[in-house]
Structure 1
Amino acid sequence: MAERASLGALSVLVLLVASTASLRAAPKAPALTAPAAPASSKPERLDLTRELPSPYSAKADAGRPAVDGPNADAAYGAYQRGRYVTAFREATKRIEANPKDAAAMTLLGELYNQGLGVKQDPKRALEWYRLAAAQNDAHAMASLGLMAMDGRGQPKDEKAGRSWLEQAARKGEPTASYNLGLMQLATGKPEDLTAAVANFRKGAEAEIPAAQYALGVLYLQGKGVARDTTQAAQWFRRAADNGDLGAEVEFAIRLFNGDGVPKDEARAARYFLHAAQRGNAIAQNRIAKLYVAGRGVPKNLVEAAGWNLAAAAQGRSDESLDQATAGLKPEERKRAEALAAERASLSQ
């Protein structure tokens, strides 16, 4: 429960929380002053809304290559454990034994594309992906689509990129469906919006977190689907639990406000804190505000100052938090600065 004195110390108690997957910088939020609460009222409601346009702009890579067959443990198993030199060697052996081994070709393409176990070489990656795609490997097709769109190892060609993504999506490759949805969404055409929703859903149901987040945003905005905050919250939760930082913040918003999900300030604070610990500046700013107000977490101005300083170090300054923590004693300020220095490493 927040003390009125704590609330009065903040010139901005309205938590304007952004979706954080966007690559764009957040514009500065307008200063909003919380109205004074009657002495007998409940704690003042912190209205959480986003500062940024909801992002569905970040492409998802084609994911880990599927290496199947009797020798899968030797090739893909090594890849999964980070033993990339071994993965390269074992995939090469597989191709020597079977020149049409598409999964092993795709794995070699991935290793060259990412520079794992071998020197990074997009052109060699393209060669292996193309050989695998000729064997109808959907993962290779998806990777070829992204490389064409980015102009990686070849001149940029969005038309060719879309063609590869469409082929991969038809074969059920979920990241291809998601990335194709991004292209459809960008056209602004109603029919493409409908198709984008369908493609995002395919990716979301395959547990692609970026697709789950995008679908949650569409439900929240009522864009391409009927507005449904319950559906939005469910997709944000799934994306958050799959590691999407923007979704962690969005789901925390829903929890804090009881929007599409039962209100739970303590659980919301845990999501904000987890995202803050992963180095997200907006989450650091928001958990600092909760520590000042004592909402979802015990009031703790040292913790608040530590998170505020960590966020400010990433360019997320907040005058209201500066004012709220200005009265710290010198030893408290020193502890807060030490916490901020610790947390700065989270953002590297």
Structure 2
Amino acid sequence: MGTLSLAVLGACAVLALDIGAVHAAPKQPAPKEPVAQTPAKPNLFDLKRELPSPYSANVQGAQPTTANPNADAAYGAYQRGRYVTAFREATKRIEANPKDAAAMTLLGELYNQGLGVKPDPKRAHEWYRLAAVQNDPNAMASLGLMAMDGRGQPKDEKAGRTWLEQAARKGQPSACYNLALIQLASDKPADLAAALANFRAAAEAEIPAAQYALGVLYLQGKGVAKDTTQAAQWFRRAADNGDLGAEVEFAIRLFNGDGVPKDETRAARYFLHAAQRGNAIAQNRIAKLYVAGRGVPKNLVEAAAWNLTAASQGRADAGLDQATAGLNPDERKRAEALAADRVSLAP
């Protein structure tokens, strides 16, 4: 999608208030930036190794992918960050029941991430394999990514896909998402349909990256009828689950009334939140809103501060420079101090 442009009213007419973005597209490198580009998503359709592990806490807004009632002390210790205890308790469980797949997967995860023990991909792979033999979908999902990466075993993309397919058939959310990325890269219509189904399964399990991906596909009309309302809804869910790119995309929809009722004040809140999380595009956009007094009270000091913060990440804006050039020395000093604080606190 191209950029959307709104003219700034009155004395601020020198500043083009471009509230729009180019979302990441499948099978393409990061798009060129005529005006804006969705942040942190240039590799949206690459495999996402940072998705929640079977036993991880609430990562990127996603719910844990395991709800095993027998996880007891081992799982609870892992969730609280007590990894040595988790290792000990999982080991006890396997001693008591050599077919305890959940405990095996937990040991695999600890060795894979090096939590409470020295990282050991080969031992992680061994524990995942034992759990997979017991039909544990979380172990299958982890084996799939390890095969794709060549961790703990020779790299084998075919085997990795097979493991992901097995896990996805059992409804494992991160496997559904990663398999969908592979399927999306195919030119086969059947793979595209399967990718959409897998994205949806992962999205309904509250995997924010999958929700973002569905938003992009509805915005593009790829594999589905183009539907800006559906796109906005999925961007909202992803944003509310912590996806930074989706926060910016949903803010854009709100500001322009694209697929959602226009609400500049709410859009500004999303832009501001993403800006505070260190997103340069959001920092640039909230600066423009402060200049124009759209969605937020007009405040040239805040505008200059956010403009400087975005510029520190390589997103300079001559229009904003011009719009804030009239600050007096004290105002300029305050803006620079605010920007320095925000840069120092950036993730």
- Normalised by the size of structure 1, how large is the TM-score? 0.87
Q: Which runs of 5+ in 1 are unaligned?
A: 31-47
Alignment of 1:185-224 (within 5 A): 185-224=184-223
Q: Give the corresponding residue for 2:17.
A: 13
2:19–2:255 contact (8 Å) kept in structure 1: no
Q: Give the corresponding residue for 1:56.
A: 45
CA pair 203-27 structure 1, distance change in 2 beyond 3 A: same
Q: How far has the Cα of 1:279 moved from its partner?
A: 1.1
1:209–1:240 contact (8 Å) kept in structure 2: yes
1:131-185 C-alpha deviation (Å, 9 max, x unpaired)? 1111110001001111111222222211111000000001111111111110011
CA pair 329-188 structure 1, distance change in 2 beyond 3 A: farther
CA pair 243-21 structure 1, distance change in 2 beyond 3 A: farther
Q: How far has the Cα of 1:20 moved from its partner?
A: 8.2
Alignment of 1:137-286 (within 5 A): 137-286=136-285
Q: How far has the Cα of 1:224 moved from its partner?
A: 0.1
> For 2:25 and 2:86, how far apart are their aligned partners in 1?
31
Name the % identity.
77
Q: Give the corresponding residue for 1:80.
A: 79
> For 1:219 and 1:130, how far apart are their aligned partners in 2?
37
Q: Give the corresponding residue for 1:324.
A: 323
1:20–1:280 contact (8 Å) kept in structure 2: no
CA pair 53-120 structure 1, distance change in 2 beyond 3 A: closer
1:67–1:104 contact (8 Å) kept in structure 2: no
CA pair 183-2 structure 1, distance change in 2 beyond 3 A: same
RMSD: 2.4
Aligned to 1:145, the other structure's residue is in SS state helix
Q: Give the corresponding residue for 2:108.
A: 109
Q: How far has the Cα of 1:55 moved from its partner?
A: 3.0
2:203–2:210 contact (8 Å) kept in structure 1: yes
> For 2:316 and 2:31, how far apart are their aligned partners in 1?
11
Letter of the 1:288 counterpart: A
CA pair 124-278 structure 1, distance change in 2 beyond 3 A: same
> For 2:271 and 2:292, how far apart are their aligned partners in 1?
14
> For 1:189 and 1:139, how far apart are their aligned partners in 2?
28
1:216-260 C-alpha deviation (Å, 9 max, x unpaired)? 111111100011111111111111111111111111111111111
Aligned to 1:261, the other structure's residue is in SS state coil
2:218–2:227 contact (8 Å) kept in structure 1: yes
Aligned to 1:224, the other structure's residue is in SS state coil
> For 1:90 and 1:290, how far apart are their aligned partners in 2?
53
> For 2:190 and 2:104, how far apart are their aligned partners in 1?
36
CA pair 7-115 structure 1, distance change in 2 beyond 3 A: farther
The number of residue pairs the alignment matches comes to: 328
Letter of the 1:56 counterpart: F
1:41-60 C-alpha deviation (Å, 9 max, x unpaired)? xxxxxxx8869879333515
1:83-105 C-alpha deviation (Å, 9 max, x unpaired)? 11211111111111111111011
Aligned to 1:180, the other structure's residue is in SS state helix
Q: Give the corresponding residue for 1:306.
A: 305
Letter of the 2:105 counterpart: T
> For 1:135 and 1:141, how far apart are their aligned partners in 2?
10
> For 1:236 and 1:54, how far apart are their aligned partners in 2?
17
Q: Which runs of 5+ in 2 are unaligned?
A: 1-6, 56-65
> For 1:291 and 1:306, how far apart are their aligned partners in 2?
10
